[in-house]
Amino acid sequence: MSDDRHTNRMQRKKDVVDERISRATEERGVLILLKGNGKGKSSSALGTMARALGHGQRCAVIQFIKGRRETGEYLFFRDQPNLDWHIMGQGFTWETQDRERDIEAAQSAWAVAKGLLENPDYHLIVLDEMSYMFKYGYLDPLPVVEALNQRPAHQNVIITGRTMATPLQEIADTISTVQDERHAFRGGVKAQAGIEY
């Protein structure tokens, strides 16, 4: 391609992009769902949170499943002044094998989340692996939808987990599905610090 043809083509592309940008004018918080069976949902939420922290925004994370404190993400983020990190999980259901305890943990986590969703000081709230709570029937999605709908207008929320409850999908602004096309684990590579946890 000649440089002139390249420039013309890029000018046309720029016009299309600029036109799209000019139509997106609403300024408000968004609800983002990160679902699917692929690697990268929680890490994507945390990377977005790093962005928010970089802009001085107050953030909170609630982990609904993970109960460990030795994860790289916790070790890295725990001293951030603008961030609350709540480890409310007890591990996966097949690890705890105790349904009553799982339900209690889910409800405690939701009580904390609900308080954050009412607090305009928080700019971004990450509800990590919350979707399993609906899948297992530990939480009812409808009060969660109600709290999300009533949250402060500027507040961004990210919810992660493999399968997402339908009522949440109905009110979401952005939905990304992370598909597992290949995974090192199935190729025999052990889960490692700095990648999986």
Please give the residues from 1 up to 60 whose contact with a second copy meets the rule CB under 8 A. 1, 3, 6-7, 10-11, 13-14, 17, 20-21, 23-28, 30, 32, 34, 36, 38-55, 57
Judged by CB under 8 A, the chain residues 97 through 136 that form the site for a second copy are 97-100, 123-124
Least separation in angstroms between residue 165's CB and a second copy is 15
Main-chain phi, psi angles of 86, to 5 degrees: -110, 115
CA-based nearest residue to 192, from 89, 72, 75: 72
Distance, in Å, from the CA atom of 75 to the CA atom of 82, rounded to the nearest integer, reads 15
Query: Could you give the angle at which helices 141-149 and 99-117 cross, rounded to 10 degrees?
Result: 10
Closer residue to a second copy in complex, CB, 110/155: 155
Spacing of C-alpha 81 from chain mean position: 20
Tokens of 192: 């490692």
Distance, in Å, from the CA atom of 177 to the CA atom of 27, rounded to the nearest integer, reads 24
Judged by CB under 8 A, the chain residues 136 through 195 that form the site for a second copy are 156, 172-195
| SS3 of residue 128 by DSSP | strand
Least separation in angstroms between residue 90's CB and a second copy is 12
Quick one: which segment of 61-69, 70-78, 108-116, 142-150 binds a second copy (CB under 8 A)?
70-78
Judged by CB under 8 A, the chain residues 79 through 98 that form the site for a second copy are 93-98
Residues in the interface with a second copy (CB under 8 A) total: 83
